[in-house]
Amino acid sequence: MTAGTGTSRRSALKYLGAGGVAASALLTACTSVQEGQNGQNGGRSGPFPGTPQWRFVFVNHVTTNSFFVPTRTGLADAAALLGVPEPQWTGSENGNVAQMASAMETAITGKADGIAVALTDDNAFVDLTKRALGQGIPVIAYNANAAGNYPLTYVGQDLYLSGFRMGQRIAQKVTSGDILVGISQPGGNNVQPRLDGITDALKQAAPGVRVQSVNTGAEQAGELNAMTAAYTGNTAAKGIYAVDAGSTAACAKLIADRGLTGKIGGGGFDLLDDTVTGVKAGALDFTIDQSPYLQGFLSVLYLYLFRLSGTLVAPPVTDTGLTFVTKENVGPYATAKSRFEGGDNKDVIAMPGSIPLPPASVLSR
């Protein structure tokens, strides 16, 4: 934020709403940020000193996919809050790993001040990550992580666990027969662990269920066609599910269009409009919210603090969540149109009168 814009702490709170995790603690620090000399924030900003206009780059695998709208909102919010330029959003539109690697190479060559990358491939980004770190450029993985790589941390959902929990949920409704599971990028680190988790959970909880994976492709426009073709070839399937946003939206539309609501199991991931509509109408039994906003917001916050502290504030591994959205709790998702979930509503969203108990946990001592 810059002086002279008339942005007050009150208006900033309204802009950020209730969901900016960790953001409210930084508002005081950012209300007096001013542009100074040499491209630095002026003087002091709350507890923070002036900093250069650090330039962060996000490398993504599906840059135009609707799922990442709240991620881009989150990264822009964090940058505005901290007084740095909005990070560059680059990579590939259709999951092309070579294009992503090229974008990361460009960021390193251009001496970016920090890189957040979706590590959808185990091998393509290893040397690039080493090079970046060797040149003093911090690298964070978001949305997808890779074994054997060297990011400072991972910000995103525990993908295998989310699939395993989904498989357990499927087993509550489907105990035998075939289910179709759409996957946009088979083998990709962003979605394959979920499919693996589903398969493993069903082997334990419902061994009579057979998983038929459906390659729906990385482009949203073709995912409904792929799911429709798979169901046309197997109308005896007991459930239609998916492990990515676009394929899940396709499942919802397919079930509704074919009059299968209430007759067949359905579910998946994320909160595209067709998905939320499908949950509300009963076409989908559930979808899973992984807080994509936080994947952008926290990645910027972590890169900023790592640079600000000269590596002393090491970014923590952050699981951005596993929330089952069902007909019982879909209401706010369907009506709020929250910018935290891809909508355009910038107002503070009213809290419910009562907060449901979260799952019980045991803290280690």
The sign of the torsion formed by the CA atoms of 300, 303, 309, 313 equals positive
Q: For residue 77, give both structure tokens.
A: 């919010």
- Residue 14's CB is within 10 A of a number of other CB atoms, namely 12
Q: Residue 105 pLDDT > 50, yes or no?
A: yes
Q: What are the residues whose beta carbons fall under 8 Å from the beta carbon of 20, sequence distance 6 or more?
A: 77, 297
Reported pTM? 0.85
**pLDDT tens digits, residue range 299-315?**
999 999 999 999 999 99
Out of 17-26, 122-131, 160-169, 304-313, least confident range = 17-26
Q: What is the pLDDT of residues 18-51, one digit of tens each?
A: 344 444 444 444 444 434 333 455 434 457 788 9
Q: Is residue 156 left, alpha or beta, with left meaning phi > 0 and alpha meaning psi from -120 to 50?
A: left
Q: What are the pLDDT digits (tens) for 217-229?
A: 988 789 999 999 9
Q: What is the mean pLDDT of residues 152-176?
A: 98
- What one-character-per-residue DSSP string does 46-58 give? TTEEP-B---EEE
CA–CA dist 119, 126 (Å, integer): 9
